[in-house]
A and B are shown apart, each in its own frame.
Chain A
C-alpha cells in the first residue's frame, strides 16, 4: 500500500517535471531561430553550419529553399531530381530541397533567412533561395541588396538567354519563370475577346451577368483586377508604392468598380462575387459566365488535365493585369555559391523550362522555338519582358476593406 503511494507520488512528480521541462525547453529554444525552425532541416541551417553530408565528387551539396503551394514543391522535386541525375552537373553537385508549405506560417522562409542574416551567421545552408515577387521585395527591404551575390554570365552562362529582368535587385537575382493574371474566356461564346479594358467594359455592358471577378483578398486574380482597375487612374509609379498618399486618389477607380457592378454575375436575384480564384473559374467552366480574370498557370494546367473545357482560352488586355517573376538568389551567407550558380544555370536551360511549362504551365523566360509547347501554345502570346508588377504593401489591406465596405454591399442590388 505504502509502496504504491510512493510510486504514485514519484510518477506525479515526474509528470509535473516533464511538463515544466518541456515548457521551459520550448521557451529557451524559441529565440532567434524560431522562424527558421519550421522544419528540422531549417533548424540545422539556422543554428550551425553542418558540412554537407554525402559530399558528392567535387562540388558537394546545394541546399535549395522554396515556399509556396504544393505544385511548387512538386516542380522543385522533379527539377532537383533531373539536376541530380540527368543534367550536365549530375554527379558533380547534389541538390537538396528545403520546402516550407505556404499557409503554415506567413512568410516563414523569408523571416528565417532575415533572422539568419541579423544574427550574423555565416556558412549556413541557405545556398540558394527561391523568391516570389512579394517575398523578394520583402527580403530586400529587410536585409538589403548586398546580402545576395551579384550574378554574371561567367557564373551562369545561360543568363544571356533570359530577357526578363526583375524590377528589384536585377543584378543579383535570376528570374526563371513567370506567372500572370490574364483574362480567361470561353471561345465558343466569345469568339473575339476584348483587347483593351474599354472593350471589356463595353462587352460587359452588352452582356450583363456574364463576367465576374472573385472577391479581392480571397485570390490573386480578383486582387489584380480591382487593383489595376483603380491604379489605371493613377500615375505609373503608384502601383509599386506603399505610400499612404495614394490612398486619397483611389476614389475615381472605386467609382469605376461601382459603375461595372450591375453587369456582374447574378444569382437568385442579386449580384454575386464568388470567393477564391477557383470560384470564378468554376462559374466559367460551368457556363454561368463567359469571362473572368484568372491566373494563366491555373487555367492552362486545369485545362491540360481535363478539369476545364477545351474551349476556355486566355488573353491579355491593355492596360494589362499584373504578373510576377519567380526568381532565384544566392545569399552571401550560403556555403556553396558555385553549386547554387550551377543550379540557376540548369533552371534556364530549355530542358528545365520545358518541365516547368508542362508540369505547372509556367511562362517560360527563354526562346520557346526549341521547346515542345503542345497544349500550352497560349503561353507563347504572353509578353514576359513587360510584366506589370504590383506591390502596394500594407495598402492592400486598406484596399480590401474599402472594397468590402463599398462594393460588396452593392451586390444585393441587381441591375
Chain B
C-alpha cells in the first residue's frame, strides 16, 4: 500500500463516524420526509395533493400568508431597532450606553416559556397595563393577545437583542480612524452613515436578518401560547397535522414548504458570504 493511499484511508476513517452520524440522523430522515410528502397517506401512490392542500384550502393558505406577515414584520422591525441600538452602543461612550451594552443580552438567558408567560401577564386584557390603567380610571384593553401584533411584540423581545448583538459585532470592526478620516475631509454625520457605516455593515445586517427570519418561520412556543385559533402560524399548523389529525404525509409536505421558506434566507446568506469571499480573493 502506497503512502498516499494509507493517508487517504486514515483521513476518511477519521471523518467516517461523523459523516455516518450526520447521514443517519439528519440526511436520511430529511430524505424520508421528502419522499413521504409526495405519497398518498393511504395508498402510498405518487401525488402532489399533500402540497396543493396547503395552497388550495382557504384556512391553510391563510395560515401561510399570516406566517409570512408575522415573520416579515418581525424581521423588518427587529433589524431597524437593532441597528439603531447597535449604532448607539458603538458610537456613544456614555455611562448609559455602557449600561445598556451590559444589559441588552440578558433576554437571551431567560427561558422562552418564562418570557412568554411574563409578556402575557403584562399585555393581556386583564394584565399589568390594564391594572395600572384602572388606577387612573381607564379600562385599557390592548387586544394584543391572540393576534398578530402580540406575536410580533413577543418576537421583537426575543430578536432585537440577538440582532443587535450581531450588528454590534460588525460595527465594532469598523475602525474609528476611517470615520475620523472622512470627518476630516468634510463629510457630515449623515454622509458618514450612508457612505461608510451602512455599506461596511450591510453584510452583518443581512446575516442577522436571515437568522431572525429562519428562527421565526418555525416558531412554536410563542404562537401556541399567545396566538389565536385562525389563522395560525405554520409551526402550529404543522403540529395540528401530525399531532391532532395524524396526517403524517401532509405534515411532511408542510415541513418541506417551511424548509423552502427558510431556504430563501439561507440562499441570501450563502450569496452574501460568497460575494465576500470573491472580494477577499481579488
Q: What is A's interface to B at a CB cutoff of 8 Å? A: 5, 8-9, 12-13, 15-16, 19, 23, 215, 217, 267-270, 272-275, 286-288, 397, 400-401, 404-405, 408-409, 411-412
Q: Which residues of B contact A411 (CB under 8 A)?
A: 228-230
Asked whether, in the complex, the Cβ of A272 is within 8 Å of the Cβ of B245, the reply is no
9 residue pairs A–B, Cβ–Cβ below 8 Å: A12-B10, A12-B16, A23-B24, A217-B240, A267-B141, A272-B229, A288-B124, A288-B126, A412-B228
Q: Known contacts A268-B145, A268-B146, A409-B230; is A5 also within 8 Å of B6 by CB?
A: yes
Chain B, range 1-60, C-beta contacts under 8 Å to A: 6-7, 9-10, 13-14, 16-17, 20-21, 24, 58-59
CB distance from A335 to the nearest CB of B (A): 37
**B238 → chain A, closest Cβ, in Å?**
13
Question: Taking A267-B145, A287-B126 as contacts, is the C-beta distance between A5 and B10 under 8 angstroms?
Answer: yes
B141 touches A9 (CB 8 A): no
**B13–chain A nearest beta-carbon distance, Å:** 3
A residues near B166, Cβ cutoff 8 Å: none
Q: Which residues of B contact A (CB under 8 A)?
A: 6-7, 9-10, 13-14, 16-17, 20-21, 24, 58-59, 124-127, 141-147, 149, 224-225, 228-230, 240, 243-246
Contacts of B13 in A (CB 8 A): 9, 12-13, 15-16
Secondary structure type dominating chain A contacts: helix
User: Which chain B residues lie closer than 8 Å to A287 at the CB level?
Assistant: 126
Q: Which residue of B lies closest to A269 (CB)?
A: B143
B146 and A267 form a contact (CB under 8 A) = yes
Asked if A267 and B125 make an inter-chain contact with CB atoms under 8 angstroms apart, the answer reads yes
CB closest chain-A residue, reference B144: A268
Residue in A closest to B126 when the chains form the complex, CB atoms: A286
Of B142, B146, B240, the residue contacting A404 (CB under 8 A) is B240
Q: A residues within 8 A CB of B124?
A: 267, 286, 288
Point out the residues of chain A lying under 8 angstroms from B240, CB to CB: 217, 404
User: In this complex, what residue of B is CB-closest to A286?
Assistant: B126
**How distant is A240 from chain B, measured CB to nearest CB, in Å?**
21
Cα separation A412 to B146 with both chains bound (whole Å): 11
Q: Which residues of B contact A275 (CB under 8 A)?
A: 224-225
Task: With both chains docked as a complex, state the minimum distance between the C-beta of B18 and any C-beta of chain A, in angstroms.
Answer: 9
Bound Cα distance from A6 to B144, whole angstroms: 66
Shortest beta-carbon distance, A157 to chain B, in Å? 44
A273 CA to B230 CA in the complex, in Å? 10
CA distance A400 to B240 in the complex (A): 9
Closest to B58 in A: A409
By the criterion CB–CB under 8 Å, are B144 and A273 in contact? no
Asked if B245 and A401 make an inter-chain contact with CB atoms under 8 angstroms apart, the answer reads: yes
Contact A12 B14 (CB under 8 A): yes
Set B9, B24, B145, B229: member contacting A273, Cβ < 8 A: B229
Residues of A within 8 A of B17 (CB): 15-16, 19
Which residue of A16, A273, A288, A412 contacts B16 across the interface (Cβ within 8 Å)?
Answer: A16
**How close is B61's CB to chain A, nearest CB, in angstroms?**
12
Per the bound structure, the CA–CA distance linking A199 and B143 in Å amounts to: 30
Report the Cα distance A287→B142, complex, angstroms. 16
Inter-chain contact A19/B20, CB cutoff 8 Å:
yes
CB <8 Å contact, A8 and B59: no
**Residue among B142, B240, B244 with the most chain A CB within 10 A?**
B244
B21 and A19 form a contact (CB under 8 A): yes
Given A215-B229, A272-B228, A405 contacting B20 (CB threshold 8 A):
no
| Chain B neighbourhood of A23, CB < 8 A | 24
Contact A405 B10 (CB under 8 A): no
Question: Are the C-beta atoms of B228 and A270 separated by less than 8 Å?
Answer: yes
A285 nearest in chain B by CB position: B126
Question: Using Cβ atoms and an 8 Å threshold, which residues of chain A touch B245?
Answer: 397, 400-401
| A216 nearest CB neighbor, chain B only | B244
Residues of A within 8 Å of B125, CB to CB, are 267, 288
Contact yes or no, A408 B14, CB < 8 A: no
Other A-B pairs, 4, CB within 8 Å; known A267-B124, A270-B147, A287-B126? A13-B13, A19-B17, A275-B225, A409-B58
Known: A9-B9, A409-B230. A401 touches B59 (CB 8 A): no
A408 to B20, CA, bound (A): 45
The complex places the Cα of A275 from the Cα of B230 at a distance, in Å, of: 12
State how many angstroms separate the Cβ of A320 from the closest Cβ of chain B. 25
Q: Provide the residues of chain A in CB contact with B6, threshold 8 Å.
A: 5, 9
| Closest chain A CB from B169 CB (angstroms) | 36
What residues of B have a CB within 8 angstroms of the CB of A5 in the complex?
6-7, 10
Closest residue of chain A to B11 (Cβ to Cβ) is A12
Q: Which residues of A contact B9 (CB under 8 A)?
A: 9
How many Å lie between the Cα of A173 and that of B244 in the bound state? Answer: 30
Q: How far is the CA of A217 from the CA of B14 in the complex (A)?
A: 48
Interface centre among B7, B16, B59, B126 (most CB of A within 10 A): B126
Task: Report how far A345 CA is from B117 CA in the complex, Å.
Answer: 43
Residue ID in chain A nearest B60 by CB atoms: A405
The complex places the Cα of A273 from the Cα of B145 at a distance, in Å, of 11
